[in-house]
Amino acid sequence: TTIENILRDAIANQGFDMVYQPIYHSKTGDFLSAEALVRLTDTTTVGFVSPEEFIPIAEKKGMIMELGQIVFEKVCAFARKKCLQEIGIEYIEVNLSGIQCMHPDLPSQLQKIMQKYEITPGFINLEITETAFVESGEMLQVNMHELRDMGCSFSMDDFGTGYSNLSRMAEVTYDLVKLDKSLIWPCFSEESGKANAILESVIRLLHQLNVKIVAEGVETEEMAIYLNEHGVTCLQGYYYSKPIGEEAYYNFLLNDQ
Ligand code: G
Ligand code: G
Ligand code: NA
Ligand code: MN
C-alpha cells in the first residue's frame, strides 16, 4: 500500500481527524484562538502519516482541492455543532496549501461550506505559507481579495522560512504573521547574539506593517517571557498545549470561560 492509496481511501471516506492547537495572548495569558491541523492514520498498515508527507502527495496527484474541502467541512461542522462562535473565541485558523490558494474555485468552495454550517467568515482565519505566497501568481491575490471581501482574515504562516521577499509584503494584507520556530529557537542557543538581532528586527518590521505577530514553537517559559517582552502578541507551542482532539479542545474551551 502506498501513501497515495491510503490518501485516496481517506478522501473517499472522509477518513481524517482534525486536531486543534490553542493560541494565547502573550500579555494576559488569555486564550485567543486555535489552529486546525489535519491528521491521517491508517490503522491497518502504516499507522500515522504526517501531513508533511501526504499534503505534497495530495497536491501532486490532484487531490488537494478535495482534501481541503473535507478539512474545511470538518472544521465548520465542529464549530457549528459546538457553537464555537458563541463561546468567546475570536477565530479558527485553517491551513491552505499553495495549490489551493491559487485555485479559481477556492473562494466559492469555502463560501458554500461556511453558508452550509452558518459560519461567519470573520470566524475563519486562513493560513498561507510565506513560500506559497512568494511562489504564487496573481490568482492567489484575486482569491485573497475575494475571501477578504467576504470577511475572512489571513495569516502568513512559517514566516522566515521562505524567501522573505519583503518587497512583496506590501501587495496584500495579512492580519497576522506567524514567526517560524527557526527564527525563534536559535535565540535560545549558545550562539544567540545574531539570532536575537534578526528576531528583534523582524518584530520591529512587522509592528510597522501593523500586523499581529504569533510565535510558533514556544516550548519553554523562558521563550514565552522573552517573546512577550519583545512585543510578540500571540504565542503557540508545546509549552501551552500540543494539538488536541475535538472533544478535548471543546472541554478546554468550556473550562477556560
Ligand atoms: O500538524 P503538523 O506539525 O504535523 O503539521 C505539519 C505540516 O502540515 C505543517 O506545515 C502544517 O501547516 C501542515 N498542515 C497541517 N494541517 C494542514 C491542513 O489541514 N492543510 C494544509 N494545507 N496543511 C496542513
Ligand atoms: O507549519 P505549521 O506552522 O503549520 O506547523 C504546525 C505544526 O507545528 C503542528 O503540526 C504542530 O504539531 C507543530 N508544533 C506546534 N507547536 C510546536 C512546538 O512547540 N514544538 C514543536 N517542535 N512543534 C510544534
Ligand atoms: Na500552519
Ligand atoms: Mn505555521
Of 120, 94, 91, 95, the C-alpha closest to 32 is: 91
CB-neighbour burial class of residue 127 (10 A; exposed 0-12, middle 13-18, buried 19+): buried
pLDDT, tens digit (0-9, with 9 covering 90-100), for 170-223:
788 899 999 999 999 999 998 889 999 999 999 999 999 999 999 999 999 999
Asked whether 37 lines ligand 2 (CB < 6 A), one says: yes
**Region 145-152 average pLDDT:** 98
Asked whether 243 lines ligand 2 (CB < 6 A), one says: yes
Residues with CB under 5 A from ligand 3 (ion): 95, 127, 157
Output the residue whose Cα is nearest ligand 2's atom 13. 217
The domain spans of the chain are 3-176+241-256
* Distance between Cα 48 and ligand 4 center (Å): 20
241 — alpha (psi -120 to 50), left (phi > 0) or beta? beta
pLDDT, tens digit (0-9, with 9 covering 90-100), for 79-128:
999 999 998 789 999 999 999 999 999 999 999 999 999 999 999 999 99
* Distance between Cα 129 and ligand 1 center (Å): 10
Output the residue whose Cα is nearest ligand 1's atom 24. 95
**Does the model's ipTM exceed the 0.90 cut?**
yes
Q: Band of the pLDDT at 133, cuts 50, 70, 90?
A: confident
Instruction: Mention every residue, 6+ apart, whose C-beta is less than 8 A from residue 115.
Output: none
* Distance between Cα 25 and ligand 1 center (Å): 22
**DSSP structural state of residue 20:** E
Mutation probe of ligand 2 site: the residue of 21, 159, 235 with most atoms within 8 A of C-beta: 21
Residue 186 C-alpha cell reads as 536559535
Output the residue whose Cα is nearest ligand 2's atom 5. 158
Second CATH level (architecture) for the domain 3-176+241-256: Alpha-Beta Barrel (3.20)
Q: Read off φ and ψ for residue 140, nearest 5 degrees.
A: -60, -40
213's enclosing H/E stretch is: strand 212-215
CA distance 182 to 222: 16
